[in-house]
Amino acid sequence: MANTPQGTTSGTSTPSFRDVVRDVMKHYKHEKESEAHQIFRNAGGHQPKGLPEIVNAEEETVPGIEHPGSTGVIYCSDRAMANGFSYTSSHEWANLGQGAPEVGPIPDAPERPNTIPLPLDSLEYAPTTGVKALREAVAKLYNHTYRQGKASQYTYENVCIVPGGRAGLSRVAAVIGDVYTSYQVPDYTAYDQVLSAFKRLVPVPTALEHKDKYHLDVEQTRKDIRTQGLAVVLASNPRNPTGQVIKGNDLKEVVSLTKEGTTVILDEFYSWYIYPENSSDYGKSISSAAYVEDVNEDSVVIIDGLTKNWRLPGWRVCWVIGPKNLVTALSQSGSFLDGGANHPLQLAAIPLLDPLHVQKEKIALQKHFKAKRDHVLARLKALHLDVDIPPTSTFYIWLNLEKLPAPLNNGLTFFEELLKEQTIVIPGIFFDINPAHRRNLFNSPCHHFVRLSFGPPLKDLDMGLDAIDRVLKKAKNSGMKDFGQGYKTTIEVTEPAHV
């Protein structure tokens, strides 16, 4: 399809002068030329920061208030609502954007939780560090899974329970001092907002290369620590959105960065979503906890929880693991940031961390999600959308659109066109962690990508892939003249009929 002359209809007639002009305009060089990009820039918080002459004055609707910018999922959900999406009619849409796994039963997995006990004590506030019994269960699970035979073991004092991964990240960010913080591009979209909101963290980016399969060069990071004075390294592992994973000796080397006087913060929410080639490897997961020598001396901070691995995103029960003095600090930041996690759900989570229960969950999850991954990759290949770096972990596909004709070859326009087909994906620019928002979006290394989630049930995945198929067929049969324009910017409300 990429070889079809743009502006023609299946190659039968000579394009008119108007079509040629419109076609030339599709070869955008700057975000100001693209309707999809201007809609993005005009959303609250997406204007460049720190340059008063180009800041949108309308953003400060309340004195002293500055929009932080929305995460990819929130922005894309808002844009979908402007196109008719609602959570009450979500079954009519294919949401391949939401970063959540399907929550229903899957083959061979333990039964889904369906009741929550409510002892009287659970109606009180829980401690800001979490219920002690759950903290103990988390510590025991990590020791059983990753630290057997090691002298240094986690205890409940190394665990802080938090109301969701973002809350855990915010608590950690709130106790970090005025330091240089290393992060990678692309990475999890919420890091952008954290690095913007907690201004004591001075962000220092490292661009991971597509040609290197987004591999983190640990030796270069070590040099940067020594020459730039990096005090914190922040990363997701397994990696969102590229679906790659740092493991084995590479992960051991990442942990060893703490010997340079640096704190390593690893977002390990996809630690179970590992897709082995050999059936004997089902049930294995990864964590930096396996390479920590002393749990109270090594400055490794792990953030994880029930959201992804246990497929319970609605529970908002997660944890931060690290040295004891970190947990003390997190208790203090939690007292003014979020107040703590849900008390009854913390109690209900304790039996779910039993190692035998966990092992059944892991194996079922890995088999089911690997099958979904392979199904989506096969369908994309049939659409001539080959994924050159297939995911080996997570439930995301980092899809490169460069070979498509303009303007479908950029993530924002591709996303807007799919909204017309009742399908949601996430444009790649949301994973370009760029707190100042100053870069021309067309220069972003993530500009030509979208993230597709195969977290939803298979039926939803096929709905979304069918929508992609329709967009590509329209481009092939009718040319590009109708793409890149006509996007809805306000939610349409249907007036009730008068009776």
Q: How many CB atoms within 10 Å of residue 294?
A: 12
Assessment of whether the complete model's pTM goes beyond 0.95: no
Residue 125: count of CB within 10 angstroms of its CB: 8
**What is the residue whose two structure tokens read 């995945």?**
461
**What's the 3-state SS for the chain?**
CCCCCCCCCCCCCCCCHHHHHHHHHHCCCCHHHCHHHHHHHHCCCCCCCCCHHHCCHHHCCCCCCCCCCCCHHHHHHHHHHHCCCCHHHHHHCEECCCCCCCCCCCCCCCCCCCCCCCCHHHHCCCCCCCCHHHHHHHHHHHHHHHCCCCCCCCCHHHEEEECCHHHHHHHHHHCCCCEEEEEEECCCCHHHHHHHHCCCEEEEEEECCHHHCCCCCHHHHHHHHHHHCEEEEEEECCCCCCCCCCCHHHHHHHHHHHHHCCEEEEECCCCCCECCCCHHHCCCCCCHHHHCCCCCCCCEEEEEECCCCCCCHHHCCEEEECCHHHHHHHHHHHHHHCCCCCHHHHHHHHHHHCHHHHHHHHHHHHHHHHHHHHHHHHHHHHCCCCCCCCCCECCEEEEECCCCCCCCCCHHHHHHHHHCCCEECEEHHHHCCCCCCCCCHHHCCCCCEEEEECCCCHHHHHHHHHHHHHHHHHHHHHCCCCCCCCCCCCCCCCCCCCC
Q: Are 433 and 31 in contact (CB under 8 A)?
A: no
Amino acid identity at 5: P
- Other residues' Cβ atoms within 10 Å of the Cβ of residue 248: 11
Between 417 and 41, the more confident residue is 417
Supply the pLDDT for residue 63.
74
Amino acid at 151: A
- Output the pLDDT for position 466: 98
Q: Which two tokens stand for residue 253?
A: 């080397």
Half-sphere exposure of residue 186: CA atoms within 13 angstroms, side-chain side: 27
Q: Please tell me the predicted confidence (pLDDT) of residue 199.
A: 80
Please determine, for residue 231, whether its predicted confidence score (pLDDT) is greater than 60.
yes
CB 330 within 8 A of CB 160: yes
CA distance 205 to 201: 12
pLDDT at res. 35 = 86
pLDDT surpasses 70 at 367: yes
pLDDT band at 27 (very low <50, low <70, confident <90, very high): low
Name 81's Cβ contacts closer than 8 Å, sequence gap at least 6: 491
Q: Are 271 and 309 in contact (CB under 8 A)?
A: yes
**Least trusted range by pLDDT, from 160-164, 253-257, 292-296, 491-495:** 491-495
Residue 497 has pLDDT above 80, yes or no: no
Query: Amino acid letter at 319?
Result: W
Per-residue model confidence (pLDDT) at position 268: 98
Residue pLDDT, tens place only, 44-75: 767 675 544 444 555 556 776 666 666 678 88
Give which of 446, 499, 492, 478 is closest to 240, Cα–Cα. Answer: 446
| Tokens found for residue 87 | 């959570």
> Residue 340 region, left (φ>0) first, then alpha (ψ -120 to 50), else beta?
left
Q: How far is CA 495 from the centre of its chain?
A: 37
Paired with 321 in beta bridges are 159, 302
CB 215 within 8 A of CB 235: no
CA distance 203 to 200: 9
Higher pLDDT, 95 or 195: 95
Q: pLDDT tens-digit profile of 148-162?
A: 999 999 999 999 999
Backbone angles phi, psi at 201, to 5 degrees: -85, 120
- C-beta neighbour count of 10 within 10 angstroms: 11
pLDDT above 70 (res 435): no
Given this model, what pLDDT does residue 70 score?
61
pLDDT band for 390, please (50, 70, 90 cuts): very high
Which tokens belong to 162?
């938090």
Close Cβ partners of 285 (under 8 Å, ≥ 6 residues apart): 145, 271, 272, 274, 309, 362
Place of tokens 């959570």: 87
The angle subtended at Cα 30 by Cα 82 and Cα 472, nearest 5°, is: 55
The pLDDT assigned to 4 comes to 44
Q: Which domains does the chain have, with CATH numbers?
A: 25-99+395-478 (3.90.1150), 120-358 (3.40.640.10)
Residues 451-465 have a mean pLDDT of 97
- pLDDT for the residue 149: 97
